[in-house]
């Protein structure tokens, strides 16, 4: 497989943006038998129009999502778009889109989207080597549904992806597929054939507010009680203000770390608060919060974030280095919006680290999401696709 990443800051003129991106692709990459494009763009860009134009110009399916900021080999970009063009003779790229997920059965819709994306030439039972999943924001269910449903459909196929973001106005986040834009559907890209991805993920868990309590009542991603307190009381016990108009931003730098004993061993899991209900004292998270898990609030700062970014990239490269039979071409980075917000004036920090560490000949593209999907590896080496928050995830393939 081969790949190239193109960049544009043209957000207002879709045709011009597509032309710029296509030109860079054509200049650097000779398209092979099968190709597909992945677009990460600012919410101001008309993604539907750009992907429609790109599909025409490059003769391939193009899918993607909006993002708070983008990453490429040159670092971090605000108000821009990056297009990753994948091309190969020995891989098939197959894009699909789900029906509207807030419908009756979101899980069935996701499974159907996967099935719809299976190319006709693929033998029954054969599975893709990698799945990319770009998901809409603001749906009334836990983000865990995405990896759970996809794993049901595709088995243990590794998934990289995330939830589309915007500038924290929560209304313009979209996913796209070749001329169509969605705020209620998930787009998928399956890569079939000679693809061998490696993954890396890091949370920031070095410092805590040290008020460890156990989740005593929850349902999916809704937490009602922690210990003998309501969730809101639990937060207020830290001194935090819960009477806020934007809980997501207000608690961005205080994600909750959950530790639970599962059959896979003790694995910490990060969760961002997305809403608070001060009437019943409950709180909503992007992902599931199981009863019995130990909860604590993380304290995150710039240095921790950049250290995690560096460690995760290093781990990725080390993992790839030992697989000599496969030559990777691309790194896809899905980072958390919260990380970018916390970095504030140093938001370009992660991009800078990645630029410094990127090996020659490897293309890099990244986006900031409101929830990341990436496999987690347990002590026994087993990988399970999971939904994360406040993490920086990498997939190299």
Q: Does 164 bind another protein (CB under 8 A)?
A: no
Beta carbon of residue 209, minimum distance to another protein (angstroms, whole number): 7
Residue among 108, 91, 5, 11 at smallest CA distance from 50: 11
Contact segment (CB under 8 A) with another protein among 96-104, 140-148, 234-242, 327-335 equals 234-242
Residue 299 in the binding site for another protein (CB under 8 A): yes
Q: Is 18 in the site for another protein (CB under 8 A)?
A: no
Minimum CB separation of residue 210 from another protein in Å reads 8
Provide the token pair at 4.
């190239």
Chosen residue from 137, 251, 285, 394 binding another protein by CB under 8 A: 251
Beta bridge partners of 95: 189
Helix (H) or strand (E) holding 77: strand 75-77
- The residue range among 30-38, 50-58, 117-125, 161-169 that interacts with another protein, by the rule CB under 8 A, is 161-169
Single out the segment in contact with another protein by CB under 8 A; choices: 90-98, 284-292, 323-331, 337-345: 337-345
State the distance between the two ends of the chain, measured CA to CA, in whole angstroms.
8
Q: Min. distance of Cβ 60 from another protein in angstroms?
A: 29
Please work out the total of residues on this chain that contact another protein, with binding judged by CB under 8 A: 31
Residue 43 CB, shortest distance to another protein, in Å, is 10
Among 206, 226, 394, 198, smallest CA distance to 300 is for 206
Give residue 331's Cα distance to chain centre. 13
Q: Which of 116, 148, 212, 250 binds another protein (CB under 8 A)?
A: 250
CB contact at 8 A, 161 and 134: yes
- Among 4, 6, 11, 191, the residue binding another protein under the rule CB under 8 A is 11
286 binds another protein (CB under 8 A): no
Residues whose CB falls within 8 Å of the CB of residue 372, separated by 6 or more in sequence, listed in order? 161, 162, 163, 201, 334, 335, 336, 387, 388, 389, 391, 392, 393
Half-sphere exposure of 52 (CA within 13 A, CB side): 10
| Residue among 172 and 314 whose Cβ is closer to another protein | 172
Q: What is the largest CA-CA distance in the chain?
A: 62
**C-alpha–C-alpha distance, residues 269 and 391, integer Å:** 10
Closest CB to another protein among 44 and 112?
44
Interface residue with another protein among 109, 145, 253, 270 (CB under 8 A) is 253
Residue 124 structure tokens: 């029954």
Least distance (Å) from another protein to the CB of residue 79? 5
Contacts of residue 76, Cβ cutoff 8 Å, sequence gap at least 6: 69, 70, 340, 347, 348, 349, 350, 351, 352
User: Quick check: 38 binds another protein (CB under 8 A)?
Assistant: no
User: Is residue 31 at the binding interface for another protein, with CB under 8 A as the rule?
Assistant: no
Question: CA-CA distance, 273 to 283, in Å (whole number)?
Answer: 7
Give the whole-angstrom CA distance, residue 344 versus residue 363. Answer: 26
Among 19, 108, 209, 319, binds another protein (CB under 8 A): 209
**Closest distance between another protein and the C-beta of residue 250, in Å?**
4
Q: Looking up tokens 């597929």, which residue turns up?
A: 177
- Per-residue interface string for the shown chain with another protein, residues 64-103, x marking contact by CB under 8 A: --------------xx------------------------
Least distance to another protein, CB of residue 170, Å = 11
Contact call for residue 44 and another protein (CB under 8 A): yes
Structure-token match 């921790």, residue found? 304
DSSP 8-class letter at 208: B
Min dist CB 289 to another protein, Å, is: 20
3-class secondary structure, 67: coil
Chain residues binding another protein by CB under 8 A are 9, 11-12, 42, 44, 78-79, 167-169, 209-211, 237-241, 244, 246, 249-254, 299, 341-342, 344, 347
């Amino acid at each position: 497989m081969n790949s190239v990443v193109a960049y544009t800051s043209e957000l207002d003129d879709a045709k011009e943006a597509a032309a710029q991106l296509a030109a860079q692709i054509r200049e650097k990459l000779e398209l092979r038998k099968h190709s597909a494009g992945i677009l990460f763009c600012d919410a101001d860009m008309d993604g539907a129009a750009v992907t429609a134009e790109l599909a025409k110009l490059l003769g391939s399916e193009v899918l993607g999502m909006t993002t708070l900021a983008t990453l490429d080999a040159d670092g971090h970009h605000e108000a821009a778009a990056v297009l990753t063009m994948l091309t190969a003779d020995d891989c098939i790229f197959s894009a699909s889109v789900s029906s509207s997920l807030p419908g009756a059965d979101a899980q069935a819709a996701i499974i159907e989207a996967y099935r719809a994306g299976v190319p006709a030439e693929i033998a029954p039972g054969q599975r893709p080597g990698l799945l990319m999943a770009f998901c809409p924001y603001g749906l009334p269910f836990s983000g865990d549904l995405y990896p759970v449903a996809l794993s049901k459909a595709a088995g243990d196929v590794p998934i990289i992806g995330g939830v589309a973001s915007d500038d924290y106005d929560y209304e313009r986040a979209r996913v796209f597929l070749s001329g169509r834009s969605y705020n209620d559907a998930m787009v998928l890209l399956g890569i079939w054939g000679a693809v061998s991805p490696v993954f890396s993920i890091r949370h920031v868990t070095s410092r805590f507010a040290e008020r460890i309590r156990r989740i005593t009542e929850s349902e999916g991603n809704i937490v009602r009680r922690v210990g003998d307190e309501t969730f809101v009381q639990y937060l207020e016990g830290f001194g935090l203000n819960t009477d806020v108009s934007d809980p997501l931003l207000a608690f961005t730098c205080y994600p909750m770390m959950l530790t639970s004993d599962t059959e896979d061993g003790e694995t910490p899991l990060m969760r961002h608060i997305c809403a608070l209900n001060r009437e019943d004292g409950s709180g909503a998270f992007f992902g599931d919060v199981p009863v019995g898990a130990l909860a604590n609030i993380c304290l995150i700062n710039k240095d921790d974030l950049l250290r995690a970014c560096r460690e995760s990239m290093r781990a990725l490269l080390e993992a790839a280095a030992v697989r000599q039979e496969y030559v990777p071409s691309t790194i896809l980075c899905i980072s958390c919006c919260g990380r970018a917000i916390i970095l504030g004036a140093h938001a370009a920090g992660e991009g800078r680290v990645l630029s410094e560490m990127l090996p020659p000949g490897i293309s890099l593209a990244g986006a900031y999401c409101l929830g990341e999907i990436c496999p987690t590896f347990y002590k026994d080496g087993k990988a399970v696709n999971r939904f994360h928050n406040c993490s920086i995830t990498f997939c190299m393939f």
